């Protein structure tokens, strides 16, 4: 009896999913998601010539690979582009329908799974290495827009192993600040290099969740962070302007700190250390004047704003944590400190020195 009830419930869930899919198709005017438009195989020469961003076409941005395991819920309607009729669909599927409707010229490959499981992680790695516009070639860029550290660490591990450049983004739990970060393995600090972020790799995610903290998000903060992420992507792919290694956003003060971090030679990720060695060799092989230029690009000594890393821990947790606090420039606070069990593997801090004492920083943090 219990079994048949379970089976019935499963069937009801299946039917609900099918219904949501069908509703989505109808809302978009057909199963092709095209809404009446068909994919344009080739742009007319006139269009291409007048389009200042035509280079984008050669950079593979006309193909998107999406990875996510969540389903669209009504609670998601306040952000991104999900619509009520898509409730029950996987997020990647719903995103594909909506985006294809906006631009049928883009090719999509969607994966509705959790990248942190062993099997899925292998597949995720395979698609990064082979899922470029030309099958068998790596993708141009990986973008991370996830809401947990486990997923970020999975992306970090994959990109370090593959030497894949990626951009990370995030919005704080209180939804009033966010950041983007460009990670070029071996050249800039990876997600495991920086002490404030490395902690999360070794602690239970659940301990980060606090009771009474509203999980809702401000669509405006997300919109701003998504905007600066995509702006950085354009600059990176089209090679114009300054591509930020780190750009923070504090909505309360309209503060946009930027900085760059060198990789940590003692990083826990061995592939990060390997990439650092390879990068050093690459730089050493360059003609002398260019070496100097490279270094200047990475280190911004005149960083007057410093950095404010997103704080997702309470004051209590900060006080109670016993790890080392990096010597940070003015305006910078740490998101995490390293817990006691890691005391023996203190990571070397690679951010710029402001001359501020540890006491000053601690006092500042307590006043946050």
Nearest approach in angstroms of CB 160 to Zn ion is: 7
Which residues participate in catalysis according to the annotation?
Answer: 214
Of 192, 226, 247, 261, the residue at the interface with Zn ion (CB under 5 A) is: 192
Annotate each residue in 210-249 with x if it binds Zn ion (CB under 5 A) or - if it does not, as one string: ----------------------------------------
Of 193, 200, 334, 349, the residue at the interface with Zn ion (CB under 5 A) is: 193
Tell me whether residue 266 or residue 314 sits nearer to Zn ion (CB atom): 266
Distance in angstroms (rounded) separating the CA atoms of residues 253 and 255: 5
Distance in angstroms (rounded) separating the CA atoms of residues 245 and 258: 8
Nearest approach in angstroms of CB 235 to Zn ion is: 24
Of 162, 194, 272, 313, the residue at the interface with Zn ion (CB under 5 A) is: 272
Only one of the segments 16-24, 132-140, 261-269, 341-349 lies at the binding site for Zn ion (rule: CB under 5 A); that segment is: 261-269
Tell me whether residue 65 or residue 283 sits nearer to Zn ion (CB atom): 283
Tell me whether residue 93 or residue 156 sits nearer to Zn ion (CB atom): 156
User: What residues are paired with 167 via a beta bridge?
Assistant: 143, 182
Annotate each residue in 134-163 with x if it binds Zn ion (CB under 5 A) or - if it does not, as one string: ------------------------------
Nearest approach in angstroms of CB 263 to Zn ion is: 5
Only one of the segments 81-89, 117-125, 247-255, 268-276 lies at the binding site for Zn ion (rule: CB under 5 A); that segment is: 268-276
CA-derived radius of gyration, the chain: 22
- Hey, how many other C-beta atoms are within 10 angstroms of the C-beta on 319? 13
- Hey, how many other C-beta atoms are within 10 angstroms of the C-beta on 226? 19
Nearest approach in angstroms of CB 347 to Zn ion is: 9
349 binds Zn ion, rule: CB under 5 A: no
267 binds Zn ion, rule: CB under 5 A: yes
CA distances from 336 to 156, 208, 235, 365 (A): 18, 10, 30, 11
89 binds Zn ion, rule: CB under 5 A: no
Distance in angstroms (rounded) separating the CA atoms of residues 89 and 18: 8
DSSP-based three-state secondary structure for 327:
coil
Distance in angstroms (rounded) separating the CA atoms of residues 248 and 169: 10
190 binds Zn ion, rule: CB under 5 A: yes
Here the tokens at position 52 are 């200042």
H helices present in the chain, as ranges = 2-27, 45-50, 91-102, 118-130, 149-162, 195-198, 219-238, 270-285, 288-298, 315-320, 358-366
199 binds Zn ion, rule: CB under 5 A: no
Contact residues: Zn ion, CB under 5 A: 190, 192-193, 267, 269, 272
């Amino acid at each position: 009896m219990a079994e048949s009830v379970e089976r019935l419930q499963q069937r009801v869930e299946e039917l609900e999913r099918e219904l949501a899919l069908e509703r989505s198709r109808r809302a978009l005017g057909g199963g092709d998601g095209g809404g009446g438009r068909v994919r344009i195989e080739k742009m007319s020469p006139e269009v291409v010539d007048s389009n200042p961003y035509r280079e984008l076409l050669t950079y593979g941005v006309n193909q998107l690979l999406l990875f996510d395991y969540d389903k669209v819920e009504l609670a998601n309607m306040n952000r991104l582009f999900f619509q009520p009729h898509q409730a029950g669909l996987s997020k990647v599927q719903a995103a594909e329908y909506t985006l294809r409707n906006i631009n049928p010229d883009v090719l999509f490959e969607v994966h509705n799974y959790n990248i942190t499981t062993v099997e899925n992680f292998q597949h995720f790695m395979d698609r990064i290495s082979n899922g470029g516009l030309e099958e068998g070639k790596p993708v141009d860029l990986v973008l991370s827009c996830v809401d947990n550290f486990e997923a970020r660490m999975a992306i970090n591990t994959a990109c370090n192993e593959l030497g894949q450049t990626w951009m990370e983004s995030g919005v704080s739990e209180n939804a009033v600040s966010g950041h983007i970060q460009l990670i070029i393995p071996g050249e800039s600090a990876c997600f495991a290099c920086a002490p404030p972020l490395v902690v999360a790799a070794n602690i239970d995610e659940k301990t980060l969740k606090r009771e009474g903290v509203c999980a809702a998000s401000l669509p405006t903060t997300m919109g701003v962070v998504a905007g600066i992420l995509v702006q950085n992507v354009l600059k990176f792919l089209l090679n114009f302007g300054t591509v930020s290694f780190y750009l923070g956003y504090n909505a309360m003060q309209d503060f946009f700190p930027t900085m760059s971090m060198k990789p940590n030679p003692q990083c826990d990720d061995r592939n990060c250390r390997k990439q650092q060695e390879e990068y050093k060799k690459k730089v050493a092989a360059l003609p002398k004047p260019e070496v100097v230029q490279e270094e200047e690009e990475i280190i911004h000594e005149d960083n007057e704003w410093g950095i404010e890393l997103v704080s997702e821990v309470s004051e209590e947790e900060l006080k109670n944590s016993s790890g080392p606090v990096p010597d940070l420039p003015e305006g910078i606070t740490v998101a995490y400190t390293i817990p006691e069990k890691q005391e023996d593997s203190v990571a070397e801090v690679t951010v710029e020195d402001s001359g501020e004492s540890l006491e000053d920083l601690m006092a500042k943090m307590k006043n946050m």
